[in-house]
Amino acid sequence: MQREIHSGACGVPVGLGGRRVQRHAQKGVALVVVMVLLIAISAISAWTVRRSMMGENMARNQIDQQAARQAAESALRDAERDIMNTSATALDNASCARGVTEFNPNMFRATCDLGLCAKPDAEYDTVNWSVATASNQSVAEPWWPESKGGRWNETVAQKPDRTAASLDTGHCSFTGGVPFGTFTGMPPIRSVARQPEYIIEVFRRKHVRINLDESQVTSGGEFANQWSTMYRITARGFGYSPKTQVVLQTIYFP
């Protein structure tokens, strides 16, 4: 028995064999459509995952930044306690002692020994961040980093370790930033990459915060024309990563 196969005008087989060829063609088109849909779904899924990861990273960075800011705020308060509660002997849980019962301008030096910094007033008029370098300290402010001629060094190993279980009393001759709690005995801040630090600069001014009677200066001066002492505190806090840092400043009148 012979099977007849007829061809159409374009030479395409018809009949049983033609239907089989047409069915294969339809399956090929479906495969292409499915592949396109899979690629599209994969791309959308990858974009969604990336967006989620980006949002998570942004949230983590914001939390890290906030932790560093709170640490810097704590260091500012710790510096105020250091100024007001200076002791000749080490306070409870403190690693070091100031050796005096009251701050005086002679304790402040250009080298920022124990975090106490001094700079001639005339040099403040010439400070210039753009030209300051590690070897050009005359145009830098003490609270700037060492790379810009400042005194905020990174010699962590030469300073008291406030995260250790026992007090580190063998590093009380450092320069630069004061680790949190070194002189006040405050417990270390947990979960941060590094304890916050502070430096204190001293200034002497006249006519500072005169009271209503305009006869006295509230910052240690007895009369309006008397020199009074004030301090500029700069604190640097660290987050969960040592690369996350926040620097805060305040002017403090005892």
Tokens in use for 90? Answer: 């080490």
Query: Is the CA virtual torsion 161, 165, 170, 172 positive or negative?
Result: positive
Residue 199 near residue 234 (C-beta atoms within 8 A): yes
Q: Say which residue the tokens 């959308």 belong to.
A: 44
Separation CA 228–CA 172 (nearest Å): 29
The full set of domain ranges for the chain reads 81-252
Amino acid present at 227: W
Per-residue pLDDT of the chain (254 residues; tens, 9 = 90+): 455 545 555 555 555 555 555 555 555 677 777 788 888 888 888 877 787 777 767 777 888 999 999 999 999 999 999 999 998 999 999 999 999 999 988 899 999 999 999 998 888 888 999 999 988 888 999 999 989 999 988 888 999 999 877 788 889 999 999 999 999 999 999 889 999 999 999 988 765 555 555 555 555 555 556 677 889 999 999 999 889 999 999 999 87
Burial of 148 (0-12, 13-18, 19+ CB in 10 A): buried
